[in-house]
Amino acid sequence: MNGQEKFFLLLLLSTLNQVKPDCRPVQEGQETALTCTVNTAALACPSTTILDWTVADTGVVALCSSNSCDGHLSYNFSTTINNSGSTLTITNVSRTDPFNMETKWSCRPCRDKIGEVTACDKLEVYYKPQSPRCTVRENTAVPGDVESVTVSCSTTKVYPEAKCSFKRKTNQGGTFLTINKSPTYSHTPTTGTPAYYNSECSVDVSVAELGEGTHSFSAFIYPDVTDGIILVDETAASTTVTLTVPEASYTCSTNMIQGYLIGKSARCTCSLTSDGYPKGQAQWYRGSQTVPGVSGGVLNVTFDSSNPEQRYTCKGVSIIGESLWLSLTVIFAFFEENVVTVDSPSPTIDLCGETNYTNNHIPITCRVPKDKIYPPPLFSVSQDGLTFDLPREGHDDTMFHQTQFYPSPDAGGVYQATCRVKNKITGTTQERETPITYRKPPPQPPKIIFRGETYQGVNALNRITLAAGYTGDMTCRVEGGYPKAHTTQLTCGLLNATGEENVATLKFQDDQLNEDMSGTECRCTSQHVSGCYDTRETSLIIDVTPNDKNGGTESIVLGFTLVVVILLVIIIILVVLVLRFRKQLRNGDREPAGLSLGRVLRNLRHIRQSEA
């Protein structure tokens, strides 16, 4: 190559404007245009042909001068040229006529002197899928138990082989989402020229991935060319798949009141009310974990005092999810028989006055073991077994529910301290009683009963005068208290009497009462089992006067008789005088002689003196 030729070549290369070829896929039988970008105005070719179009494996298909082009196969091509390059229009893209156009297309400025410009690396020719259709198949291991869904699409004619993109949406109004799984393909070429394909594609989707709801499917089945998916319309599957989670509920073997299971144990069964699709099972959960050891949905629960409220949930569960759970809070309500106890520090309480709080107020404890009743009970108590106070809650220690009460009876006696325990859920009650003996001393000192008079306590006014030789009974009696006072003793000097219970009687006989006993203190004392009979003594002082040989009794009788006789005489005289006075009045004499009041009185005085 001489210097002139080198200069010419450099000049041609400087005129080329290499641009990346842009040729879109073309549907078979349709028209397309290819562009070769060259600054033709700058070309200085040695011949009049400044550009030609070539096809790989075929050769030149068009020649262009500076202002026109001629096509070698003019019925398939038309070519134009201008300062910026040349455009080749293929009026009928074909894979057979006049040749297979799926090949490289290029132009050569100044023919082949300075190389070529690629208009299309490979012209992609396609045939849209004919009669595409998509179907859905549910894959079941056993009837009613779907495991996965297969979405398949097919076409009887497509070129080149088809590609597929699958989508799904859940429920009406949902958005289609791409199924990000690689499809499985099957392609069968047709006979004849040119060849086409029967293409099938499918994808499997597990029901776990789909979840609950009604699922719709669609696909793009398109020729495998650049951006082939935008060349076709979406094809919807003819069927939908509806997946449902199972529903479950539970029943328990025992009655339930206010949310409490009656008893200390129960068998609760979680079972399906709806199988779901795919079919699920009923399961018990505690928290987020399944309950171990449960078979057939049967949960055996027992009372646990350390955990009296046990919470479980019953769920319908399948591979696609779980139903809304039903909560079961296992709280037992029970009251075992013969479990109440009533305890007292002592079976006997001494009522020794209001100020003696310790003795009078001894607590009675009513208790029931915590593992024998639930929920915690209500207590009501009675000190007599008849009248109960209002129910109240007790207090707890580590082992018992319990309460304390302090009976305070008004009088001594044997009382039945009674405790009533009630289960506030079942209403079941139990009573337990314990006898408490309240010993109360008599409220007053002993009484000395003598000659119709009663003397009580130690008092200087308790005094009596007797004639020596008096005979009769003196009694000491203690009234009230529980139980009765005991060992009552009455003493008068050297004389004494003792009663085993609340009465002692001292008998004065013969000459036991004499002048030597004058000023003697008779004392009555008694004891009570409570040990707090503080007023247990009464005293009476006896004064003894002397008496004649006939005895004081005869003198008293004689004096009494004399007084009676005098009174009778006076009455007789008054009667006689009254009668005489009335007689004189009838005779008209207002003041009979010798019948003045003074005279009457003088006569009475004279009579008394004469009798003396």
| Protein fold of 247-335 | Immunoglobulin-like (2.60.40)
The pLDDT of residue 609: 53
- pLDDT at 358 exceeding the cut of 50: no
What is the average per-residue pLDDT within 467-486?
A: 91
The pLDDT of residue 10: 43
CATH architecture for the domain at 341-439: Sandwich (2.60)
Q: For the chain, where do the domains classified as CATH 2.60.40.10 start and end?
A: 3-123, 127-243, 247-335, 341-439, 447-545
The pLDDT of residue 74: 56
| Protein fold of 3-123 | Immunoglobulin-like (2.60.40)
With bands split at pLDDT 50, 70 and 90, how would you rate the model's confidence at 562?
A: confident
Residue 78 to residue 59: CA distance in whole angstroms: 16
Residue 298 to residue 303: CA distance in whole angstroms: 17
Q: Quick one: 127-243 is in which CATH superfamily?
A: Immunoglobulins (2.60.40.10)
What's the predicted TM-score (pTM) here? 0.59
Helices (H) and strands (E) in the chain, counts: 5, 48
Q: Which residues pair with 3 in a beta bridge?
A: none
Nearest in space to 382 (alpha carbons), one of 373, 372, 391, 370: 391
- pLDDT at 597 exceeding the cut of 70: no
The pLDDT of residue 11: 44
Q: Tell me the residue length of the chain.
A: 612
With bands split at pLDDT 50, 70 and 90, how would you rate the model's confidence at 161?
A: very high
- pLDDT at 356 exceeding the cut of 50: no
- pLDDT at 596 exceeding the cut of 70: no
Among 45-49, 139-143, 262-266, the range with the most confident prediction by mean pLDDT is 262-266
Q: Residue for token digits 């008068």? A: 492
- pLDDT at 73 exceeding the cut of 70: no
What is the average per-residue pLDDT within 84-108?
A: 91
Residue 390 to residue 459: CA distance in whole angstroms: 49
Domain 447-545 has CATH 2.30.30.30: no
Structure tokens at 2: 């001489």
Longest dimension (CA), the chain: 222
Residue 593 to residue 6: CA distance in whole angstroms: 216
Residue 340 to residue 368: CA distance in whole angstroms: 5
Structure tokens at 16: 């080329």
Q: Bigger pLDDT: 46 or 330?
A: 330
**CB-CB contact of 465 with 545 (8 Å):** yes
Nearest in space to 326 (alpha carbons), one of 299, 356, 308, 361: 299
- pLDDT at 62 exceeding the cut of 50: yes
The pLDDT of residue 16: 46
- pLDDT at 3 exceeding the cut of 50: no
Instruction: Find the range with the poorest average confidence among 230-234, 286-290, 330-334, 549-553.
Output: 549-553
Q: Which residues pair with 374 in a beta bridge?
A: 334
In whole numbers, what is the pLDDT of the chain averaged over residues? 86
